[in-house]
Each structure stands twice: as structure tokens, then as C-alpha cells.
Structure 1
């Protein structure tokens, strides 16, 4: 079953701002390595928000949190990955289904792992720029990928569930207000 949830309202803007605040907070507070909400927020923002908000939510969350915890030499690579994830979600999740959200979440985790570790290897500071250096880079990154995947799945499920529950409750409340009961005198 698919559901259309893309918003172009004040509510969507409030959601975008709340997501940025939540992402920054969860990223700067102590957490297991790579168990962070940024990919989930990029997917959610891409699926639910208008295009202009969808691309800015993960970027602003990363810029603000990187300003707090420190920039690194590969920020443009990581920011670019999140931007592409948001764009893919915007394009692929105009109508939601559990299969689509799960597929894009796992794909985004794998994409981020492959691209960022390739960039670490290509930088040449930690690993030799050889085939064995590349294999070593990806091998040593596997424990981080586990946390990335677990965090992405956890946060994506939590964010979409909370949002859909809020929409459901909002719809129920709105229906209750639109049908005032007639009173007899």
C-alpha cells in the first residue's frame, strides 16, 4: 500500500526545522560511532518536504553540527552524499510504501559507505593507493557500516512512524472540528 505524504505547508516547514534541530542534537550528543539520524532525515525530508526544503534539511543539519563538532577534510563528500540521498528520496518516494522506504534506506547506507570510504582511500593519508589499500580501507570500515545501517534503519523507521502517526492524529482532530454537533433548544 502506498501513501502520498508530501507536504507544501507551514506544517512541513515546522517539520523541517524540527528535523534540523533533532539531527544536530543527536549528532553532537554522545552516541555510538556512525549511529546518527542524518541519512534518515535526508530520506524523510526528500520524501515528505517540498524540493527546496528536502535538499536543505540534511545540508543545514550537517553544516551546523560540523561547525560544533569540527570540520574534516571530506565534508564536501559527506555533504554531497546526503544531498544525493535526499534527491533520490524526493524522486523515489513521492508515494510511500514500506518496501520503497526500506530499499532506499539500505541503498543509502551502502551508497554512503562505498563513497565515503573510497574518498578516504583516495585521499591517501590512511591507506596506500593500491588495490590492497582499498581492500584494507573497506575491511576496516565494516564495523562502522554495521552501525550506519542499524542507525539508518532505526531512525528512518522512528521518524516515518512518528510523522505518519502525527498526520493520522491531526486528520482525526480536524475531522472532529469540522462536524460540529447540532444542539436542540
Structure 2
């Protein structure tokens, strides 16, 4: 299916952010209580979806940053019983999701193959970037390349969960949106979808 970009008003954008924060917070809470689900969140699929469908990449980035920032405060409190507004180690995480938005923007036609390839690329970016901080600033790994390799190896179960989450939530986001477009009729989408002209 050919891809149609979406222009969001501030009100619609806030609703999207709220929906993403609630769904992400819920899944991060599940992963906090059940380690088998660690990293099984909609964040990766959200990054690809907003990159693919939002005309305004600044708004796409705003959705992701707001979701990460707010749910990070929530999760950090669960782990430390303190409110931590920001941690410099999060910069690698934020950078990985900004790159994922760019990867999503490269999707020109929505189909299983293109979304799957974008998911694989985004998980690889997340894997390579987010393991830099624990390698450089943690005490678990040696500082040489072998330590970075060990950090990457130890992260494989988490990245597997992210890939599975991208598949599940990506099917809901991309598939759901394309299904809605199909049910509303292709003629309504001959031009980019406009949620609001304001």
C-alpha cells in the first residue's frame, strides 16, 4: 500500500502522545514485574510509525521524546524509589530512537517486507548504541572492544524482545492504520491525510 503522510494539529498530537505514553508505561510496568518481557514495549514500532506517517519529523521526535522522558521518570522511580528527571546514559537511548524515526521515514510503501526490514535496522541501531554506556561507564565489562562485544552479547535477549515487540506493535500500528484507510475508502486518501488544518 502506498504511504500517505499525516499532518497533526497540537490537540491531535497531544492525544497521540498520551496514548503512546499510556501503552508504553503499561508495557514497561509489565517488563518491570516480569523480566522475560524486558524491552517488550511499543517504542520501536512507534518510532518507525511516526517516522513513516508524520509529515513533520519534529513532531514525530516530540512524540518519542515525550514518551521516553515521562515513562523513564516512572520506571526510574520503580527501581530507585527516587524521582530521576534525566540521566546522561539516556542520551544513547534517545539518539537510537531519533535514528529509528529516520529509518521509518525511508518506508515509502507499507508492506510486511519493508516494515520488517525497517524493524531489523532499528533494532540493530538500538543494540549498537544503547550498549555503549554500560560498556564505557559500567563496571561489568572491560573497556576494550572485547568488553563492548560482551556487552552486545549480553543484550541479545533484550534485543530479541524488542524485535518481537516491533513485530507485534508494528502490526497493530501499521496494519491498523492501513485497515482504517481501506475501510474509509481510497478516495479520501488521494492526498496526504490531514488530521487538522490548524
- Could you tell me which runs of 5 or more consecutive residues in structure 2 were left unpaired when the two chains were aligned: 77-83, 189-198
| Contact 2:49-2:173 at 8 Å conserved across structures | yes
CA distance in 1, matches of 2:183, 2:28: 29
- Report the TM-score, using the length of structure 1 for normalisation: 0.80
CA distance in 1, matches of 2:149, 2:7: 45
Query: How many angstroms does 1:9 deviate by?
Result: 4.3
Residues 16, 161 of structure 1: alpha-carbon distance in 2 compared, 3 angstrom cutoff: farther
Partner of 2:40: 35
CA distance in 1, matches of 2:68, 2:28: 9
Partner of 1:178: none
CA distance in 1, matches of 2:52, 2:12: 11
Query: How many angstroms does 1:15 deviate by?
Result: 4.0
Q: Is 2:166 the partner of 1:160?
A: no
Residues 121, 8 of structure 1: alpha-carbon distance in 2 compared, 3 angstrom cutoff: same
Partner of 1:5: 4
- Could you tell me which runs of 5 or more consecutive residues in structure 1 were left unpaired when the two chains were aligned: 175-185
- 2:7 aligns to what SS in structure 1? coil
CA distance in 2, matches of 1:85, 1:163: 19
| Contact 2:39-2:161 at 8 Å conserved across structures | yes
How many residues are treated as equivalent by the alignment? 171
Structure having greater relative contact order (Cα 8 Å, sep ≥ 6): 2
Counterparts of 1:113-124 in structure 2, within 5 Å, are: 113-124=127-138
CA distance in 2, matches of 1:151, 1:78: 17
Residues 12, 95 of structure 1: alpha-carbon distance in 2 compared, 3 angstrom cutoff: farther
Query: How many angstroms does 1:66 deviate by?
Result: 0.5
Q: Is 2:27 the partner of 1:26?
A: yes
Partner of 1:89: 104
Q: CA RMSD in A?
A: 2.4
Partner of 1:59: 65
- Report the TM-score, using the length of structure 2 for normalisation: 0.75
Rg comparison, structure with higher value: 1
Partner of 1:181: none
Q: Which moved more, 1:142-151 or 1:55-64?
A: 142-151
Q: Is 2:52 the partner of 1:47?
A: yes
- 2:185 aligns to what SS in structure 1? helix
